[in-house]
Structure 1
Amino acid sequence: MVLSVVLAAFVLILPVELPDKTLFATLVLATRFPPLPVFVGVGLAFGLQVAIAVTAGSLLSLLPEAVVSAVVAVLFLTGAVLLWRESRKGGDEDEATAQAREQTSFVRAAAISFGVLFAAEWGDLSQLATAGLAARYEEPLSVFVGAWAALLVISGLAAFLGRKLADRLPVTLLHRVAAGLFLVFAVVAVVETVRTLTG
């Protein structure tokens, strides 16, 4: 495992997920169920999604280097554009109205949380970023650990701090910071593509 790759994955994924729909879905789940089963279910869903994204990115790394860096550039550029567009919409999110906590077993609450987040995370920006990092660094375990750690931090904050967190997040700023990070990674990938083609 390469610590610098773990850190790169963590630093890139964390700001992407903070203003994401999965954060708000976790917040809503935390208003309906106790925090621990929500955290367990969401954490497992994120772990499976990260494993799928790392596998897809690792398969990309089997292609010629110029093709891989070009695909990575497109993935990150797409992510930057999507995040920037989200930041222009502002922080208005449709939040579900708070419901009374249900008397639900731990396993059922965790299973519901897993299902909601697993479905919500498909094609998400964090999946694009994770696949791009796995293709770029060819260190699937390091990317997995960094990305999953970032997602666990986010899901833990959402599950255990609940609605207090949503009220204090400058969502627009977080979208813009994440868009900037995606753009930097896209530029680095473009430079690597050009260097590979001309070198």
Structure 2
Amino acid sequence: MFSFTVAAVVFGVVFLAELPDKTALAGLMLGTRYRPSYVFVGVAAAFLVHVALAIAAGSALALLPHRAVQAVVGVLFLAGAAVLLFKKDDGEDEVTAPADQSFWKVSGAGFTMILVAEFGDLTQIMTANLAARYDDPLSVGVGAVLALWAVAGLGILGGRTLMKYVPLKLITKVAAGVMALLAGISLYEAATG
């Protein structure tokens, strides 16, 4: 039986835990460069996979080797920061026109980025623990998915709005710096356990 109370509690917990996380940053960066609806489809699909895994695995996800996951995430963030900093500048300070962007390319990029970066994340483990605690997989799943989609949507739309006021070069450099910082934190956690 679906419980609105459980779904609401899970939504609140997951939303607050994910809001300051890398999802908003990833959504912001993708939202500045690509058509937001395409980005959201990929990101939303990745979160469905994450929540399904968390619900299916229950608290077993907490047993994943945290250090290895953090090391992979750290390396991916370093690679992302390097790509942002060293990519060839076309002199453009605007987003590519949506007509030039393939749905599958953009949504695939969003899906892949979130799928890899969020695997073993705090909110995925938290969702698994909440599923085990409440023994209500549907309510926990709905609450978690809606919370993750809300954070992603805020990041994607925030990126599009930000482009109206801040040059893309500056956004790219700031995002690269934040990604490098997140890489450092992830690699530090991997090294120290």
Question: Structure 1 length as normaliser, TM-score?
Answer: 0.61
Q: Is the 8 A contact 1:37 1:110 kept in 2?
A: yes
Task: Supply the distance in 2 between the matched residues of 1:58 and 1:129 (Cα, whole angstroms).
Answer: 8
Aligned mates of 1:164, 1:18 — CA distance in 2: 18
Residue 101 of structure 1 corresponds to 96
* Structure 1 residues 65-108: Cα deviation after superposition (integer angstroms, max 9, x where no partner): xxxxxx8xx9xxx9xxxxxxxxxxxxxxx795687437221122
Q: Distance in 2 between matches of 1:100 and 1:119?
A: 25
Distance of 2:14 and 2:122 partners within structure 1: 9
Which residue identity is paired with 2:39?
Answer: V
Q: Structure 1: which amino acid aligns with 2:148?
A: L
Which runs of 5 or more residues in structure 2 are unaligned?
67-80, 86-92, 163-193
Q: Which runs of 4+ in 1 moved over 4 A?
A: 94-100
**TM-score where L is the length of structure 2:** 0.63
CA distance in 2, matches of 1:113, 1:121: 12
Q: 1:163 to 1:24 in 2, by over 3 A?
A: farther
Match of 1:134 among 119, 131, 134: 131
Give, in angstroms, the shift of residue 161 of structure 1. Answer: 2.4
**Partner Cα distance (1:148, 1:114) in 2:** 14
| Distance of aligned partners of 1:27 and 1:52 in 2 relative to their CA distance in 1, 3 Å threshold | same
In structure 1, C-alpha distance between the alignment counterparts of 2:152 and 2:111, rounded to whole Å:
12
Distance (whole Å) between structure 2 residues aligned to residue 14 and residue 117 of structure 1: 16
2:143 aligned residue: 146
- Is the CA contact (8 Å cut-off) linking 1:23 and 1:155 kept in structure 2? yes
Task: State how many pairs are aligned.
Answer: 136
Structure 1 residue 59 displacement after superposition: 6.9
Percent identical residues: 43
Aligned to 2:47: 46
Report what 2:16 is aligned to: 15
